[in-house]
Chains A and B, each alone.
Chain A
Amino acid sequence: MSRVRFALCSTVVIVLGAVTLIAPATSQTPPTSPTPQPSQTPQASQTPQASQTPQASQTPKSGGVLNMMLREDLSQGFAIHETSTISSVWPVMPCLSNLVLFDPLKKTESVDTIIGELAEKWSWQDNYRNLVFFLRKGVKWHDGQPFTSKDVKFTFDVLREAADAPAKLRINPRKDWYANVEAIETPDTHTAVFRLKKPQPSLLLMLASGYTPVYAAHLSPANYRTTCVGTGPFKLKEWRKGEYVEFVKNPDYFVKGRPYLAGLKYFVIVERGTRQAAMQAGKLDVTFPGETTKTAAEQLKKAVPQLVVTPYSQNVTDNIIMNVKKPPFDNPKIRLAVSHAIDRRALIQAVHQGGAVVGAALAPKPWGFWGLAEKDLVGLPGYGAKPADEKALARKLMAEAGFSPEKPIKVEIVTRAIAIYVDMASFVINELKQIGIDATLKQIETAQWHATATRGDYQIGANLTGIGPDDPDANYYENYACGSPRNYSQYCNEEVMKMFDAQSQELDPKKRLALNVAIQKKLEADAARPILDWKIDFFTVWPHVKNLIPHQSIYNFGRMQEVWSDK
């Protein structure tokens, strides 16, 4: 064989070798069929079936270890109070307890689904000005120390940064949740009273979130960065850095007969593909909240039809932050134009393959309690039925500001250097191009993101926001209040602030709901932080996992005390 020919042959052989690997596989995968566009009302098939609520017919079995996944190692160990990420809450909730918690067995969280943990009974007094907790007796910390009201006072004095607090958190992201707490009194070892400055029904819901466990008074808060001493249903067995976190059943748990499981193991698997494969192979029993897209869930279900997939709203939004203190977004017309220009529904299709829903500042119905329904959204910028009309309106607004697609304004859009954010930003860039905004993408490394956003070192950004409980107070004060560090757009409207305060103190639920509808409409009309979508997670479990019911917020259902395994 001539050498030239041989040389060419060897190159071809390599390429062919690679192609033969894929040929059998690709011929079997049909292209994704186009999903119909505007219908975003969740189909009946998507809402969890009635059979998802507790199986009264089956008696729970004891024993078994649940294998779960983490997308990254614990960032600050078990110090929930010093972090704000699901990566911290999900694997740490099992070893801690709250005063109260949302009932794990009810998927919709509200004030009616709150159950007691360390608090046996509680009651509002003085027109929602004082919250009294009657604490459980005989509860022990994992290291044997008894639990008393001292621990409650310690935790919440530290959290609200009381002047005489015995310790200090290194980082305190939810200090504002307790801004309304005037003092915490402990009349005896098993009673704790929260005295508030103003009535605030929401406080109870914030205390019921996975973000609000009780720390031990006899330990320094820094301890929780390395180990977990709690009163929860599971005790920490081992934390092998970068590999896994392992828990075992707490035999002295204050709820007799719980937990059912003998142990929990959370494996750190950074590679998405490996996570999927492990889930498929049954090596993992449960997916990580917020990590399973629609496509991934379809892939899993196709490979293993008996998997149980439950779509639910994660309480996480994609949104656009615009620096209102810097040109050009100090001009409200341009901000409004941006909001009109972005076709929310198309974005949901393009970026999430249909795995998200439209909504305003609070989680939309039926996924959340306070959000606007589809019909209320129609009038708001960006949610119109005809995207072309929306864009025309946007162009008109831009023209008033002096710009057009022929004479565009150049801006820089920032986002985190992570694939999903970049995809979102890329879509937005495309939309803005059509109305006269020429945006270039600048990726910011994780280390820099919050610093950049807080400093206001940007013009426009594609952002993601997660909120603890589905509660207006938790949301508004963090993200829209004047001077809040997380109000990245630095939007400040005194009139709206008054509306926030009004709804916070409103005791009539119907009135409060109406106030919130008005607030949400105002926020979208002001284009304060246009919400692009509410992400839906497709939580997937193997059928033998029972009683693990996702709630309308990923941060609140990780305690695992009711979960049992039918193996």
Chain B
Amino acid sequence: MAVRPAEIAVPAGARPRAGTWSVLWRFARKKPLGAAGGALILAMLLTAVFAEFLQTHDPIATDAAYTLGAPTAEHWLGTDHLGRDIYSRIVHGARVSLIVGVASTLMGSVLGGIIGLLSGYIGGKTDLVTQRVLDILQGLPLLVLALVMSAALGPALHNVIIAISIPIIPRAARVIRSSVLSIREMQYVEAARALGVRHLRIAFRHILPNTMGPFIVLCTAQLGSAILVEATLSFLGLGVPEPYPSWGRMLSVSAAEYAQKAPHLVLFPGVAISLAVFGSNLLGDALRDTLDPRLRGAG
């Protein structure tokens, strides 16, 4: 009972408003895990947007009198080695992780998608060359490439976004390209060509909307990946710099040093990261099952 891609790809306005809600409701009932994942992501989104309202303290305000405090009524998740409130830092950390995760995923997926679209549609030599170039980028493990890029660009928020989006490009291009290859041969495309429609128009008007399914799946899958890489880079000291509170950086130096006295330093940011990635993975899985059952086997 999979929902066909065409149903979702139809331009907005063709369906009555109420349909969107019933689609979502059916989705939630069919794929409870996916719905749970979506809820987690939504919670993270809301936390990021309303961080200022959700925080209990200023996330960068230090308090020398109350360092490494255990969770209490005043500091819900305790304090770190400088006396900063961990709960507030985690709430603001959502903002950083989300910005980095979403921005790098979108940047990488869109760029990669366009490359994949053009490469798959034009075919021939262009495709061959593009494929090899993408192979090169993909041949290096994600973390290693992000590491070197991060070192090359320096510690800054926009640099981290760029560093993480680069490895995503070839992966996105791959997925979109294979999707394009299969759609290219379909009848309605042949019909459009026979009617004399220009190639670019075919590419963007007919093929692109039908790759939306795989694209969405790709984005949600890569989002989790991007959040993890950002956390790892921050842990290794190459990620987002102060004063932005980053979940990954909260887990580095200070956490390890004081872990025994204050285990909550280690546990809470890690749980936050895990929940965010978990949610994105759940949602991505469910979307994939729904939108394109053919992709179920592909990792």
Contacts and interface: CB of A to CB of B under 8 A. Distances in A.
B155 interface: yes
B67 A295 contact: yes
Interface in A278-303: 280, 295-296, 299, 303
B243 to A, nearest CB: 6
Contact of B33 (A7, A303, A422, A445): A7
Contact of B62 (A11, A35, A350, A441): A350
Contacts of B151: 445
A543 to B, nearest CB: 21
Interface in A393-419: 417, 419
A452 to B, nearest CB: 12
B241 A26 contact: no
Contacts of B29: 4
B274 interface: yes
A56 interface: no
Contacts of A419: 252-254
A349 interface: yes
B199 interface: no
B241 A443 contact: yes
Given A8-B36, A25-B263, A34 B243 contact: no
Nearest to A31: B69
A426 B243 contact: yes
Nearest to A274: B256
A151 to B, nearest CB: 42
Contacts of B1: none
Interface string A511-531: 000000000000000000000
A51 interface: no
B64 interface: yes
B263 to A, nearest CB: 5
Contacts of A15: 271, 275
Given A6-B32, A350-B64, A441-B243, A29 B262 contact: yes
B154 A445 contact: yes
Interface in B251-282: 252-264, 267, 270-271, 274-275, 278
B70 A26 contact: yes
B66 A445 contact: no
B209 interface: no
A120 to B, nearest CB: 46
Given A4-B29, A7-B33, A443-B155, A31 B66 contact: yes
Interface stretch (B75-83, B120-128, B129-137, B178-186): B75-83
Contacts of A427: 62
A223 to B, nearest CB: 31
Given A7-B32, A346-B64, A417-B155, A351 B82 contact: yes
Given A26-B70, A353-B64, A443-B242, A276 B36 contact: no
Nearest to A21: B267
A273 interface: yes
Contact of B32 (A4, A31, A441): A4
A423 interface: yes
Interface string B238-252: 000111000000001
B34 to A, nearest CB: 9
Contacts of A35: 65
B27 to A, nearest CB: 12
Given A26-B70, A445-B154, A4 B28 contact: yes
Given A11-B40, A295-B258, A26 B263 contact: yes
Residue among A4, A425, A430 with the highest chain B CB neighbour number at 10 A? A4
Contacts of B68: 29, 31-32, 295
A3 interface: yes
Interface residues of B, number: 49
Contact of A11 (B36, B79, B253, B254): B36
Nearest to A303: B260
Nearest to A420: B253
B73 to A, nearest CB: 12
A509 B267 CA distance: 57
A376 to B, nearest CB: 26
B64 A30 contact: no
Nearest to A6: B32
Contacts of A4: 28-29, 32, 35
A111 interface: no
A55 to B, nearest CB: 32
Nearest to A25: B263
Given A11-B40, A32-B69, A426-B60, A273 B32 contact: no
A43 interface: no
A271 interface: yes
B237 A417 contact: yes
Contacts of A425: 242
B71 interface: yes
Nearest to B274: A14
B237 to A, nearest CB: 7
Contacts of B35: 4, 7
B70 to A, nearest CB: 4
A425 B62 CA distance: 12
B72 interface: yes
The 10 A-B residue pairs whose C-beta atoms are closest, nearest first, are A273-B256, A34-B65, A272-B257, A31-B69, A349-B64, A7-B32, A350-B64, A7-B36, A3-B32, A26-B70
Interface of B: 28-29, 32-33, 35-36, 40, 60, 62, 64-72, 78-79, 81-83, 151, 154-155, 237, 241-243, 252-264, 267, 270-271, 274-275, 278
Given A31-B70, A277-B260, A350-B82, 19 more contacts: A4-B35, A7-B36, A15-B275, A18-B271, A21-B267, A26-B263, A29-B262, A31-B68, A32-B66, A273-B259, A295-B68, A299-B261, A350-B62, A353-B67, A419-B253, A419-B254, A422-B241, A425-B242, A426-B60
25 contacts: A11-B40, A15-B275, A21-B267, A22-B263, A26-B262, A27-B70, A29-B261, A31-B69, A32-B65, A32-B66, A32-B67, A32-B68, A272-B253, A273-B259, A276-B260, A280-B260, A295-B68, A295-B81, A303-B260, A350-B83, A351-B82, A422-B241, A423-B82, A426-B62, A426-B82
Interface of A: 3-4, 6-8, 10-11, 14-15, 18-19, 21-22, 25-27, 29-32, 34-35, 271-274, 276-277, 280, 295-296, 299, 303, 346, 349-351, 353, 417, 419, 422-423, 425-427, 430, 441, 443, 445
